[in-house]
Amino acid sequence: MKTVKYLNFYGRRRGKKLSKLQKQHIKFFLPKVCLSGVSYDENPKRENLDLEKIFGKKCPVWLEIGFGGGEHMLSIAKQNSNIGIIGCEPYLNGVAMLLPRLAKENLDNIKVFSDDGRILLDVLPDKSITKLFLLFPDPWPKKKHKKRRFVNTENLRMFKRVLKPDSSIYIATDVNAYARHVLEIFNK
């Protein structure tokens, strides 16, 4: 089910001041690896992305939501050149950490979406993702903030729509309360 609505975003978009090199990579390199056609402005009708066109070939596509500095994503991209990987990270400093390393590695199988993962999930084709990584998401530990957690019933419905049958979801956390929360949501 496609939805076009305003999404509340919880968390920071920026942190420390970016270095000159990071600013240059955002200006010149990010447009080369940026996943376009996702935002509400670019895609107001919320049409599905053409992943074969995006990666220039038909290939399995993996998705990492909240890639942080991109260490995991770079590692799996180097080991799996035949896989298309979409990395989603709304925190600009994380994107800025990834870009110089991505430019140095010269990998062509990574696309970056630097905004909220729910916006991306909304335009991914049905049954298009073979692996989903959600590594160490913000646990929002306060009871009043539980609704902010990325693993929730609504997002689980989107995961179910975009994941291929027999696909894998990898969720990692070091917060016991969040692990229990994830298990409860999945058990429902």
Instruction: Dump pLDDT digits (tens) for 131-145.
Output: 999 998 876 566 666
Give the per-residue pLDDT at 53: 96
Q: pLDDT tier at 10 (50, 70, 90 boundaries)?
A: low
Residue 186 has pLDDT above 80, yes or no: yes
What is the number of other CB atoms lying within 10 angstroms of the CB of residue 55?
Answer: 19
Residue 42 in contact with residue 121, Cβ under 8 Å? no
Residue 52 in contact with residue 64, Cβ under 8 Å? no
Give the per-residue pLDDT at 137: 80
d(CA 176, CA 188): 19
DSSP 25: I
What is the number of other CB atoms lying within 10 angstroms of the CB of residue 83?
Answer: 17
Q: Which residues are catalytic?
A: 138
d(CA 33, CA 142): 36
Give the per-residue pLDDT at 120: 94
Instruction: Dump pLDDT digits (tens) for 127-182.
Output: 999 999 999 887 656 666 667 678 888 889 999 999 999 999 999 998 898 899 88
Instruction: Dump pLDDT digits (tens) for 54-113.
Output: 999 999 999 999 998 999 999 999 999 999 999 999 888 989 999 999 999 989 999 999
Give the per-residue pLDDT at 3: 45
d(CA 88, CA 91): 9
Residue 151 in contact with residue 182, Cβ under 8 Å? yes
Runs of H (alpha helix) within 37-175: 51-55, 71-79, 92-105, 117-121, 153-162
Give the three-state DSSP class for 85. strand
Segment 31-40 mean pLDDT: 89
Question: What interhelical angle do 153-162 and 176-187 show, nearest 10?
Answer: 60
